[in-house]
Amino acid sequence: MVNDQQSGSITIKTKSVNQKHPIEALRKVGQMKKQQFWIILVYILLSIVMIGCTAAATEIFPQETEQEMIAKPPVDEIEEVEEVSEDNDRLQDEEGISSEARFTITADSVLQGPITELYEGFFEGETPVFVNADADLIATRSISINTGRPTFEATFLPGFVLLPGSESLDVRRFINFAISPEGQQVLIDAGELPAVISITDQAGNSLEIQQPLQRVISAFGPATSIVYSIGAKETLVAASYTGAGDPQGASVMERIDPRFPTLASDDFFSRQNFNIEEAAILDPHLIIGSARSSWLDVVDQLGISVFLMDAETPQQLQETVNLFGEMFGPHSSAQAQAWIEYYDFIITEIADQMGDLSPEERVKVLFTGTEPLRVASGDMYQTDMIEAAGGISVSADLLGFWNDVNLEQIAIWDPDIIIVPPYGGASVEAITESTEWQILTAVQNGRVYRMPRLVAPWDTPGPDSVMGIVWMVERLYPGLTAFSCESEAEYFYNTFLNYAISGDEIAAICLVE
Amino acid sequence: MGLILLLPILLFVISLTLGRYQISAPDVVRVLLSPIFPDIADGIPLIARQLVLQVRVPRVLAALLIGASYGATGTAFQAIFKNPLVDSNILGVTSGAGFGAAIAILLMRSTWQVQLSAFAFGLVAVSLSFFGSRLYKTTPLLVLTLMGILVGSLFNSLTSLLKYVADPLDALPAITFWLLGSLTNITWNRMVALVVITLIGLGLFWLLRWRLNILSLGDQEAKSLGVDPIQMKIMIIFIATLMTAVAVSISGVIGWVGLVIPHAGRLIVGPDHKRLMPVSIGLGGSFMILVDNVARTLLPGEIPLGVLTGLIGVPLLIILLRRARTGW
């Protein structure tokens, strides 16, 4: 071994001596030193530049998002509270110590304890006045009426709601407080609500979630849609959105939620990407992601709860909405239940109103993708929607995801209706204005439609998809059911997104091109 | 040479302070010491501690080891194949690993399965090249190179086939991202194999580095100097394959480093492997840390490493070429 090594190094020496004159070799050593110096200099310079870059980047990509996000939601609350206390002072200044309560409350005896806690938490130093009838505020067990579209009231404890009995501003404020995270905190402190809930997400992981849930990062567009439609948007600190990437979607989203521009962070958090450093800055209590996200391992290392959702079928979607309701507290839970009831209501009503259609009478539907020759498979949510709307998906035998087919296959299917999605540059014209497609009955009859959207496309598995079913049944069987896109859209966005959708917007969405 | 070996360690420490979440350098040092002195990190938010210990340290360490590994294996392959255009992928290990990862992403998804499958198929590819070359007896090196290229393109075709059938919303982006290379998903428990195999491999290459000189002279000369060239080459190929496979299985495909770092090293210290091997290790590690820092800090989303190695590496190499005075 030792011998080998020596002989090896000797060979090298003789070789280099043979090649170069000794003096030259010496000069070479000097140059080598110089060379090393340059290399190191370059590395150090690059490191400095990079440190500079990071600093600049953190300045450019706003750090203040964080502060704004923390500051913004409480600002309203604080102002409100201050207003209240100012009112208080004024009242007391004008009338001395007011013995008159702000409003009267009717409550079951079991509810009087929690109501008192809430009342004392909101109007400091005051006690509530309970009466038996003609109260300004009624706390009662919620009654579900299973006819027509569901409604939901301010649910402050599971199964119990607060109903206003007068128009008083204090009553409204009190109700809002009772269902806000602050009000929920009061009830948790009083032992009326659990401080921690355990839940199993749709990837099968069980997690413990602190109540009331706040500071949520939603790293998956459909998850964000669900959070919005169960009235929990105030809990978000950053979110990925579906359909809000273009100016049109973004402007609607901004009307739905003024915080949208600061919340939108698809660059940082999406199904493909998760910027863990940015997440650490936001200090979230919960991260919601898709079970198919590729970033799960690393996020686990931060020690933050991660809820993974997987909603690709109607059943899974309902389950997801239900789980979200459980996580976000009693009021969101009631709203989630209302959404599930509405979904069931639409599906059963459509089935009832259509009666028994024979397979021959059913409309054959082709759902195409971002390219006209790309069609939805039977495994996709779009197929479930077509079936819920009483149609038959001609491409239901295909498996997997979007499938590429040729025009001959589509001609064999001969669909009655073709639906194109509202994303990825898909357009009705790409089909109707192409000469080859004229051979199809659907094209000849002008029955090629584009699926609408408000923000999220109505064919993505999210809360809005129920609107997609309503719209589809109207296209498939005009006049056969009592549903209209216009009236359901008005109900849906007012009820679940608390968004006063304008007549023009409804007309634009439901307009058939 | 000593300086170049110190460089990655210096960069390692600097890099830990880099990131969107700002943690000052003294805090980073306190957090680093906290496993030994538990009280030292008091007052630093838990999330910052987790970020440094569980996210940044494994990631920067992985970059260091993978870069060093590519530098060393590239140098070794270039020496035994006596060909400066050879890199760690010469026997198809990267292509095989890419195929292994793609099939695992398509069928199973869990990260450790992807890693294992990439590693296994990397070894399968090299075995195919190696035993395939045995079919033809003469000039084994040339046949081996040819087989490597053939096996590599075979696995590349298979990967393309998988990409074609993959779900474009789900698996396809994951496969593409993997093939471009990334250290996003590094965690401590995925590092075990990398640390063990890479450190042993680097150690062996360090000890064998003078033999690379002999091997690069040619088989006759090596024999006359008492080294069995065939046995030695097989051993070096085996070590380098294991190292590359484990590196690729963790980071995805990062081309370029194994090819160019040895040249950069040669520009600095010349062709003597006794010096070249340590310099390649140091340069590879430093370069990878540097590139990964850019990948994780420059944009909100990750930039694939395979994209950056070229973008950053080519200008660096041009500077080196301009400055070079030493023999190749």
If pLDDT is split at 50, 70 and 90, which confidence band does A469 have? Answer: very high
> What is the rounded CA–CA span in Å between residue A423 and residue A450?
10
What is the pLDDT, as a whole number, of residue A480?
84
A-chain CB neighbours of B296 within 8 Å are 277
CB A224 within 8 A of CB A240: yes
How many percent of chain A have pLDDT more than 70?
A: 80
Interface of B with A in 274-303 (CB under 8 A): 274, 286, 290, 293-294, 296-302
Q: What is the mean pLDDT of chain B?
A: 86
A-chain CB neighbours of B326 within 8 Å are 28, 31-32, 35
Strand segments, DSSP code E, in A368-459 are 374-375, 392-393, 403-404, 417-420, 448-450
In a domain, B248, yes or no: yes
If pLDDT is split at 50, 70 and 90, which confidence band does A8 have? Answer: very low
Closest chain A residue to B25 measured between Cα atoms?
A: A51
> What is the rounded CA–CA span in Å between residue B264 and residue B243?
21
**Chain B nearest CA to A188, separation (Å):** 25
ipTM score: 0.71
Residues 6+ apart with CB under 8 A from A301: B50, B54, B55, B187, B188
**Chain B nearest CA to A278, separation (Å):** 6
What is the pLDDT, as a whole number, of residue A88?
46
For A105: left if phi > 0, alpha if psi spans -120 to 50, otherwise beta; the answer is beta
pLDDT of A73 higher than 80: no
If pLDDT is split at 50, 70 and 90, which confidence band does A35 have? Answer: low
Alpha helices in A61-145 (DSSP H): 64-95, 109-122
- Cβ count within 10 A of residue A215: 19
**Chain A nearest CA to B302, separation (Å):** 7
B-chain CB neighbours of A53 within 8 Å are 294, 297-298
Structure tokens at A102: 């702000």
Closest chain A residue to B267 measured between Cα atoms?
A: A35
What is the pLDDT, as a whole number, of residue A45?
66
B47/A50 touch (CB, cutoff 8 Å), yes or no: no
Q: How far is CA A380 from CA A362, A473, B136, B171, in A?
A: 20, 18, 52, 16
A-chain CB neighbours of B320 within 8 Å are 39
If pLDDT is split at 50, 70 and 90, which confidence band does A244 have? Answer: confident
Structure tokens at A349: 């009503």
Strand partners for A206: A200
Domain tally, chain B: 1
Structure tokens at B166: 């993959």
CB A285 within 8 A of CB A304: yes
B21–chain A Cβ distance below 8 A for any pair: yes
Range of the domain at B109: 59-323
What is the pLDDT, as a whole number, of residue A20?
46
Q: Give yes or no for a cis peptide into B38 (omega within 30° of 0).
A: no
Closest chain A residue to B1 measured between Cα atoms?
A: A36
> What is the rounded CA–CA span in Å between residue A222 and residue A202?
14
What is the pLDDT, as a whole number, of residue A37?
63
How many percent of chain A have pLDDT more than 90?
A: 41
Torsion on CA atoms A490, A492, A495, A499, rounded to nearest 10 = -60
In a domain, B42, yes or no: no
B51–chain A Cβ distance below 8 A for any pair: yes
> What is the rounded CA–CA span in Å between residue A391 and residue A366?
10
If pLDDT is split at 50, 70 and 90, which confidence band does A513 have? Answer: low
More confident of the two residues A347 and A52: A347
Closest chain A residue to B5 measured between Cα atoms?
A: A40
B174–chain A Cβ distance below 8 A for any pair: yes
What is the pLDDT, as a whole number, of residue A220?
92
**Least confident stretch, A376-385, B95-104, B259-268:** B259-268
B-chain CB neighbours of A13 within 8 Å are none
pLDDT of A246 higher than 80: yes
CB B80 within 8 A of CB B236: yes
pLDDT of B256 higher than 70: yes
Reference A213, options A192, A229, A226, A227; nearest CA is A227
pLDDT, tens digit (0-9, with 9 covering 90-100), for A277-331: 888 889 899 999 988 777 777 787 778 899 999 888 999 999 999 999 999 999 9
DSSP reduced 3-state for A139: strand
What is the pLDDT, as a whole number, of residue A49?
59
What is the pLDDT, as a whole number, of residue A470?
94
B156–chain A Cβ distance below 8 A for any pair: no
CB A481 within 8 A of CB A350: yes
Residues 6+ apart with CB under 8 A from A135: A103, A104, A105, A106, A165
In a domain, B174, yes or no: yes
In a domain, B40, yes or no: no
**Least confident stretch, A178-192, A497-511, B37-51:** B37-51
What is the pLDDT, as a whole number, of residue A4?
43
Interface of A with B in 29-58 (CB under 8 A): 31-32, 35-36, 38-40, 42-43, 46-47, 50-51, 53-54, 57-58
Neighbouring C-alpha atoms within 13 Å toward the C-beta of B45:
13
If pLDDT is split at 50, 70 and 90, which confidence band does A141 have? Answer: confident
Query: What is the DSSP code string of A25-59?
Result: HHHHHHHHHHHHHHHHHHHHHHHHHHHHHHHHHHH
Pick from A30-34, A85-89, A142-146, B259-263 the range whose average pLDDT is largest: B259-263
What is the pLDDT, as a whole number, of residue B121?
93
Answer yes or no: pTM beyond 0.90. no
Instruction: Give the nearest partner residue to A11 out of B225, B300, B326, using CB atoms.
Output: B225
B-chain CB neighbours of A221 within 8 Å are none
What is the pLDDT, as a whole number, of residue A28?
55
DSSP reduced 3-state for A198: strand
A278/B324 touch (CB, cutoff 8 Å), yes or no: no
> What is the rounded CA–CA span in Å between residue A172 and residue B126?
73
A247–chain B Cβ distance below 8 A for any pair: no
**Chain A nearest CA to B25, separation (Å):** 12
B299/A267 touch (CB, cutoff 8 Å), yes or no: yes
Q: Helix count (H) and strand count (E) of chain A?
A: 20, 17
A278–chain B Cβ distance below 8 A for any pair: yes
What is the pLDDT, as a whole number, of residue A315?
94
> What is the rounded CA–CA span in Å between residue A12 and residue A19?
11
**Chain A nearest CA to B132, separation (Å):** 32
In a domain, B221, yes or no: yes
As a 3-state breakdown, chain B gives helix, strand, coil percent values, each rounded to 5, of 75, 0, 25
- When pLDDT is averaged across residues A487-504 and rounded to a whole number, the result is 92
Sheet (strand A364-367) strand order: A392-393, A364-367, A417-420, A448-450
> What is the rounded CA–CA span in Å between residue B169 and residue A272?
10
Closest chain A residue to B169 measured between Cα atoms?
A: A401
What is the pLDDT, as a whole number, of residue A84?
44
More confident of the two residues B229 and A215: A215
B-chain CB neighbours of A40 within 8 Å are 3-4, 7
> What is the rounded CA–CA span in Å between residue B185 and residue B59?
8
B2–chain A Cβ distance below 8 A for any pair: no
B316/A3 touch (CB, cutoff 8 Å), yes or no: no
- Cβ count within 10 A of residue A168: 14
B-chain CB neighbours of A1 within 8 Å are none
A301–chain B Cβ distance below 8 A for any pair: yes
Instruction: Give the nearest partner residue to B213 out of A8, A35, A294, using CB atoms.
Output: A8
How many percent of chain B have pLDDT more than 70?
A: 96
Instruction: Give the nearest partner residue to B21 out of A277, A292, A303, using CB atoms.
Output: A277
- Give the amino acid at B183: L
If pLDDT is split at 50, 70 and 90, which confidence band does A473 have? Answer: very high
**Chain B nearest CA to A34, separation (Å):** 10
B-chain CB neighbours of A5 within 8 Å are 210
In a domain, B3, yes or no: no
pLDDT of B57 higher than 50: yes
If pLDDT is split at 50, 70 and 90, which confidence band does A1 have? Answer: very low
A6–chain B Cβ distance below 8 A for any pair: no
**Chain B nearest CA to A29, separation (Å):** 9
pLDDT, tens digit (0-9, with 9 covering 90-100), for A376-430: 999 889 999 999 999 999 999 998 788 888 898 999 999 999 999 998 888 898 8
In a domain, B30, yes or no: no
If pLDDT is split at 50, 70 and 90, which confidence band does B197 have? Answer: very high
pLDDT, tens digit (0-9, with 9 covering 90-100), for A316-371: 999 999 999 999 999 999 999 999 999 999 999 999 888 888 888 899 999 999 88
pLDDT, tens digit (0-9, with 9 covering 90-100), for A438-461: 999 999 999 999 999 999 999 999
- When pLDDT is averaged across residues B114-131 and rounded to a whole number, the result is 89
pLDDT, tens digit (0-9, with 9 covering 90-100), for A249-280: 899 999 999 999 999 988 888 887 888 888 88
**Least confident stretch, A141-145, A195-199, A289-293, B50-54:** A141-145
Q: At what angle do helices A314-327 and A330-354 cross, to 10 degrees?
A: 160
Q: Which CATH number belongs to the domain containing residue B312 in this structure?
A: 1.10.3470.10
If pLDDT is split at 50, 70 and 90, which confidence band does A43 have? Answer: low
DSSP reduced 3-state for A375: strand
**Chain B nearest CA to A287, separation (Å):** 14
A–B interface: beta-carbon pairs under 8 A: 161
Q: At what angle do helices A22-60 and B273-297 cross, to 10 degrees?
A: 10
Reference A449, options A398, A362, A488, A391; nearest CA is A391
**Chain B nearest CA to A208, separation (Å):** 18
What is the pLDDT, as a whole number, of residue A370?
86
Give me Rg for the CA atoms of chain B.
Answer: 20
pLDDT of B157 higher than 90: yes
In a domain, B136, yes or no: yes
